Amino acid sequence: MQLIKASQMDLEAMVRKIVEEKITGESPELKINGGLLMIPVGVSNRHVHLCRKDMDILFGEGYEMQPMKELSQKGFYSAKETVVVAGPKGAIPGVRLLGPMREHTQVELLASDKWILGLAPDIRESGTLADSPLLTIVGPKGTVLNNSGVMIAWRHIHMNSAEARLLGVNDGNYVKVQAVGNRAVIFDHVKVRLGDSFNTELHLDVDEANAAGVDNGDLVKILL
Amino acid sequence: MQLIKASQMDLEAMVRKIVEEKITGESPELKINGGLLMIPVGVSNRHVHLCRKDMDILFGEGYEMQPMKELSQKGFYSAKETVVVAGPKGAIPGVRLLGPMREHTQVELLASDKWILGLAPDIRESGTLADSPLLTIVGPKGTVLNNSGVMIAWRHIHMNSAEARLLGVNDGNYVKVQAVGNRAVIFDHVKVRLGDSFNTELHLDVDEANAAGVDNGDLVKILL
């Protein structure tokens, strides 16, 4: 049993090595696998997802966001609308709303925003709402004192479920991702989220993208 | 000869492995070597080094900076004085001067500043002055149109020469540096600069520090 396991692992390692060596080549039969390891970057600035209730307070009863630009994930968009976010030390104007609306309001800030706002949000995964610092959101029709879901986003990959199966990656796995160039880095602890309709993409915030010298659409490599 | 080389390398690798394994332990005889691999971070915001001529124009003939805070490298300080830097798209106020004066003016910006200023500086090493974008520096007594030394700093380690000899690192070598935590990263292409009076330290800008979740004085590990 031990021997069988060992030889399976050897085979797997061998195949992986061959695939990796071929990524930069033109071998058509390996193009799909090679392509799966090289994924595009999507860069997020600070932004706000609003729930229906907060939208009503900030923009008026029944208000609907006006989509400005489609995002890479189907059905998601940045809106024309922006809000001001404010903490005990200062405020940041022009913070973009992303659509569609969510069940719970969530504010994703940059690490450097803590100095402007006087808050110390955790680095956490989207949807983790409890115990976040108090943040005031100001809109044209009203103000909300938000007491949940204020965070710095944990870096993550939206991965198409079918592609994930080919790579042997499961929902919630952590992988490393490598960016090349003057500011070459390997990002560790990158969480993978699977979705049948996801376009596979590494989501970084602007601090992370600046530190790695990458921009929207640049290709980075998953290290399995 | 080949055999001797191979066994020397094996020995070196073995010793390195033992040292690395012991870094987190309490073994007193390995404390020095372990300590050399774990180095503190120094975080820089955007800043300006002025030459005498530009100082005279911006602050008045013979003006001397007032030191505000000593930096980790002996003899270096941040000054009380700040300037405004401006490009074709916008300006940034409150940009700190660092002392002492230099032979040539040098402006170190953040990657995100390009969107504010409308400039595209290269990521390059300190002292590489040619072919940089035009930047206006505004002081209380005058304005300078700077045509050299506007850059985003290449990440680097100031390393004490004696420590570098123990590690086998030469001036100009590139090393990898690992930061742990939620935003764990491995920074590649980190240039090492040696100096007899240097306090060994990894210099990152605020974008890089934010992306890695590290702050002044946090320890990171050199991967040799």
Q: Chain B residue closest to A186 (CA)? A: B186
Residue B16: the pLDDT is 58
* Per-residue pLDDT reduced to its tens digit, A145-163: 998 899 999 999 999 999 9
- Measure CB to CB from residue B207 to each of A184, A186, A207 and give the nearest one: A207
Indicate whether A89 pLDDT > 90: yes
Average pLDDT over residues A164-187: 94
Residue A5: the pLDDT is 44
Q: Is A125 on the interface with B (CB under 8 A)?
A: no
8 Å CB contact between A44 and A106: no
Average pLDDT over residues A42-67: 97
Indicate whether B25 pLDDT > 90: no
Q: Tell me the pLDDT band of A121, cut-offs 50, 70 and 90.
A: very high
8 Å CB contact between B220 and B183: no
Q: Chain A residue closest to B212 (CA)? A: A208
Tally Cβ neighbours within 10 Å of residue A51: 15
Q: Tell me the pLDDT band of A4, cut-offs 50, 70 and 90.
A: very low
- Measure CB to CB from residue A186 to each of B111, B182, B185 and give the nearest one: B185
Q: Exposure of A176 by Cβ count < 10 A (0-12 exposed, 13-18 middle, 19+ buried)?
A: middle
Q: Is A120 on the interface with B (CB under 8 A)?
A: no
* Per-residue pLDDT reduced to its tens digit, B44-82: 999 999 999 999 999 999 999 999 999 988 899 999 999
Q: Where does A34-76 show beta strands of DSSP type E?
A: 38-44, 47-51, 67-70
8 Å CB contact between A105 and A48: yes
Yes or no, beta carbons of A123 and B210 under 8 Å apart: no
- Measure CB to CB from residue A208 to each of B188, B189, B211 and give the nearest one: B211
Contacts of A183 in chain B (CB under 8 A): 123, 155, 189, 208
Lowest-confidence range among A35-44, A50-59, A181-190, A209-218? A35-44
DSSP conformation letters of B99-156: EEEESS-EEEE-TTHHHHHT----EE-TT--SS---EEEE-SS-EEEE-S-EEEEPPE
Residue A26: the pLDDT is 38
Q: Which of A6, A11, A9, A33 is nearest to A22 (CA)?
A: A33
Q: How far is CA A108 from the centre of its chain?
A: 10
Contacts of A153 in chain B (CB under 8 A): none
Indicate whether B187 pLDDT > 90: yes
* Per-residue pLDDT reduced to its tens digit, A137-148: 999 999 999 988
Residue B24 CA to residue A194 CA, distance in Å, equals: 36
Q: Tell me the pLDDT band of B13, cut-offs 50, 70 and 90.
A: low
Q: Is A155 on the interface with B (CB under 8 A)?
A: yes
Structure tokens at B100: 């002492």
Average pLDDT over residues A173-178: 96
Yes or no, beta carbons of B186 and A185 under 8 Å apart: yes
Residue B121: the pLDDT is 94
Indicate whether B8 pLDDT > 80: no
- Measure CB to CB from residue B182 to each of A183, A184, A189 and give the nearest one: A189
Taking the whole predicted model, whether its pTM rises above 0.95 is answered as no
Indicate whether B123 pLDDT > 90: yes
Contacts of A189 in chain B (CB under 8 A): 182-184
Q: Where does B6-54 show beta strands of DSSP type E?
A: 38-44, 47-51
Q: Exposure of B176 by Cβ count < 10 A (0-12 exposed, 13-18 middle, 19+ buried)?
A: middle
How high is the mean pLDDT of chain B?
Answer: 87
DSSP bridge partners of A95: A83
Yes or no, beta carbons of A184 and B188 under 8 Å apart: yes
Residue A224: the pLDDT is 80
Q: Tell me the pLDDT band of B14, cut-offs 50, 70 and 90.
A: low
Tally Cβ neighbours within 10 Å of residue B161: 14
Higher per-residue pLDDT: A3 or B218 = B218
**Residue boundaries of the structural domains of chain B:** 11-43+155-223, 45-153
DSSP secondary structure code for residue A30 in this structure? G
Q: How much is the ipTM here?
A: 0.78
Q: Tell me the pLDDT band of B152, cut-offs 50, 70 and 90.
A: very high
Residue B224: the pLDDT is 80
Lowest-confidence range among A32-46, B30-44, B110-124, B129-143? B30-44
Indicate whether A188 pLDDT > 60: yes
CATH topology (fold) of A11-43+155-223: Barwin-like endoglucanases (2.40.40)
Yes or no, beta carbons of A189 and B208 under 8 Å apart: no
Residue A28: the pLDDT is 32
- Measure CB to CB from residue B188 to each of A154, A185, A188 and give the nearest one: A185
Residue A19: the pLDDT is 54
First CA to last CA distance, chain B: 25
